[in-house]
Chain A
């Protein structure tokens, strides 16, 4: 007999008074929805290709004797130093993959909630604005960290395993921390960047264009100005170059442009602050027309 025939029935359970991870169901939903998107699974697995190539490089670097017939001499790119990590984390293709990931996963995260007026459903629950944002941010963080932090640590781990000793870690004890720090900066920046743009429109296609367009346009504008003026500080105009500058500094390597990396970090922090302020303004349980 259906519940309808016997009338309304009460639920006997007890609601949790305060959920520490009230945002987690939103994160789980975001991840589930991402995998439902067309071509996303193909893209998701392809995105690990650079990591696999770099991992293979670590293996080859420890088995030089076996691969002598393939490699002439001792190529510098197979020296596993912090520069190797910098090469993975700051290469343009890797950063572009992260942008594509954000387009797939993040363009509709808030835009769809605005379009289908889901915010009032969420905020009629004991869910705070910060929980909502954490839930959405954690969805993006899941994918971003999978492509940054996890491969970074796997590189360190496999280097130790393939070498059979801890010499690498003794030489660069700060490297795992640098991996964590840079992964977190990438994650925070791209998550806030994506959510901010997603909150600015209720059309996820427009948001996708903005995510891609602003990232690309900032680099093109830098290119145009740099060609004319050759001033290194123009690198601050490019989102990509700012991320690369910070990455190079954290891995203790030579900067891409002779500009203090602190400027790039400050600029990224300021952009994130601006993003959070916009999010705070745009995320409302109801549209209030004054």
Chain B
């Protein structure tokens, strides 16, 4: 890594699949991980990861990963980055340790070192008992661990994890998240792309939300949660529709969860407005509590705003 290099430094990145715009004007700066990459399907998360690894060539803008230019120093980037793909991917006919060592060797490790390190990382991810089994006989959970092991074998400075807990049972998911936290605590920068919001909340301090190929929000997760709105939980008795319509006119958004309304109130708007409008529309406010916003709320807000 070049001195004081940022994990990601992307400037106005754009990429189109033919006529379809996948990313447009994406500028992201991340100083330090772990960072979560969020977005609905088709938001451009996978395209962004592919651009970072040089699988796809940047069409507009420029980007650096750990201080290295993604377009011109592709080989260098791949040497210091570990990648755990979302898809099931492996080489059939060989055991876990052989596959991990092979990929270590392809990263530039000496053969014997790669084999020794492969044993170490397979122990680390909990595959010590199965490392001599052929990978095609692995369960889904074991393959997820194997993908994590192969991403770590060459001791990368940054790992890109694409849906690392997809298809795992709760215990397996918890173990993978623990590993991600541990890896991050040991100085490896981590970028987690996931649609499972609690995974991001559990492992990352920084978050990037992509929507329709653009950055919808970016920054420290705790700070972002405070931004732009206050979240209230509201229960009313009476005809809610006109009341909510009035709130919408004042810039509020809401979501219904059974008989509870989650109300996103613009920061500049006092909660007193809720009562004033309730009186006007003759509804009773039965319950109003300022809520601690979660990542889902932030996600719903920024993605909703974009839409």
Contacts and interface: CB of A to CB of B under 8 A. Distances in A.
Q: A and B, one complex? A: yes
Interface of A: 2-4, 7-11, 13, 15-19, 22, 25-26, 29, 32-33, 36, 112-113, 116-118, 120-128, 284-286, 288-290
A51 B268 CA distance: 89
B107 A125 contact: yes
B186 interface: yes
B50 interface: yes
B78 A116 contact: no
Contacts of A13: 109-110, 113
B101 to A, nearest CB: 9
B113 to A, nearest CB: 5
B155 interface: yes
A289 B98 CA distance: 32
A13 B185 CA distance: 21
A121 B126 contact: no
Interface stretch (B87-95, B235-243, B255-263): B87-95
B304 to A, nearest CB: 28
A163 to B, nearest CB: 44
A112 B150 CA distance: 19
B1 interface: no
25 contacts: A3-B121, A7-B182, A8-B183, A9-B124, A10-B187, A13-B110, A15-B79, A15-B107, A16-B109, A22-B106, A33-B93, A112-B93, A113-B91, A116-B89, A118-B90, A120-B83, A120-B85, A123-B53, A123-B78, A124-B78, A124-B83, A126-B76, A286-B55, A288-B17, A288-B56
A123 B88 contact: no
A2 to B, nearest CB: 5
A169 B123 CA distance: 60
B188 interface: yes
Contacts of A286: 50, 55-56
Interface string B112-138: 010001001101111010000000000
Given A8-B182, A113-B91, A116-B90, A2 B128 contact: yes
Nearest to A127: B106
B110 A16 contact: yes
Contacts of A18: 75
Which 10 pairs from chain A and chain B are nearest by CB? A15-B108, A117-B89, A11-B155, A124-B83, A285-B55, A16-B108, A8-B186, A125-B106, A126-B75, A290-B18
Given A112-B93, A113-B91, A117-B87, 6 more contacts: A3-B123, A120-B83, A121-B89, A121-B150, A123-B53, A123-B78
A112 B135 CA distance: 14
B94 A29 contact: yes
Contacts of A15: 79, 107-109, 154
Nearest to B135: A116
Given A15-B154, A118-B90, A126-B75, A25 B105 contact: yes
A289 B22 CA distance: 12
Contacts of A284: 55
B91 A116 contact: yes
B159 to A, nearest CB: 11
A8 B124 contact: yes
Contacts of B55: 120, 123, 284-286
A25 B102 contact: yes
A288 B105 CA distance: 27
B63 to A, nearest CB: 17
Contacts of A125: 78-79, 103, 106-107
A36 B134 CA distance: 12
A241 B303 CA distance: 65
Contacts of B4: none
A94 B108 CA distance: 39
Contacts of B227: none
Of B91, B109, B121, B183, most A-chain CB atoms within 10 Å: B91
A105 to B, nearest CB: 13
Contacts of A25: 102, 105-106, 111
